[in-house]
């Protein structure tokens, strides 16, 4: 049987971890946990930003639809807050384009979040809805118009003009 070495003090060395090794492992674990916590925090911030982006885009699209429907005056623009979400505010600005009654309508939706301003801007070219007709203004075709369309193959054009 091999003889076991004894240290200078006469005690045997037992296998295991020293106090320094344990403290070093704990320090590495704490640093890793802090880094993981930072990553989780950054991920949740990006998730909130994505929610703000989606909600702001939907609100801006709704305001553009109101402009297109004539609820908001395209020439005058406007601004305010949303009734259903008062933390969001909106502003409509329009610039006339080269064609008659054509405007570049810009809707800006914004809110303050975590001490900084979050803003979504959408723009669209649209005709002034007050200057265009509506389906209610359309006239019903006469019986003569219907018969002429049926005899001309549904084109509404005289047969001699057809190729």
Return the pLDDT at 12.
Answer: 72
Residue 48 lies in a domain: yes
Q: For residue 59, is it within any domain?
A: yes
Give 10-residue mean pLDDT values along the chain (163 residues): 56 80 95 96 92 94 90 87 91 89 92 89 88 64 76 57 49
> Within a domain: residue 95?
yes
pTM: predicted TM-score of the whole model, two decimal places: 0.62
pLDDT of residue 9: 62
**How many domains does the structure of the chain reveal?**
1
Three-state secondary structure call for residue 150: helix
Q: What is the pLDDT of residue 137?
A: 59
Is 109 part of a structural domain of the chain?
yes
Which tokens belong to 121? 């801007």
């Amino acid at each position: 049987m091999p003889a076991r070495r004894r240290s200078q003090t006469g005690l045997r060395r037992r296998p295991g971890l020293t106090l320094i090794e344990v403290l070093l492992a704990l320090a590495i674990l704490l640093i890793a946990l802090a880094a993981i916590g930072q990553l989780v925090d950054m991920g949740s911030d990006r998730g909130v930003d994505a929610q703000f982006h989606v909600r702001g885009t939907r609100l801006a699209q709704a305001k553009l639809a109101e402009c297109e429907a004539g609820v908001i005056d395209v020439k005058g623009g406007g601004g305010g807050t949303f009734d259903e979400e008062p933390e969001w505010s909106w502003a409509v600005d329009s610039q006339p384009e080269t064609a008659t009654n054509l405007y570049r309508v810009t809707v800006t939706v914004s809110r303050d979040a975590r001490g900084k301003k979050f803003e979504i801007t959408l723009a669209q070219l649209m005709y002034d809805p007050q200057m265009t007709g509506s389906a209610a203004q359309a006239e019903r075709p006469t019986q003569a118009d219907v018969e002429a369309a049926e005899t001309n193959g549904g084109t509404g054009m005289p047969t001699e003009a057809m190729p």
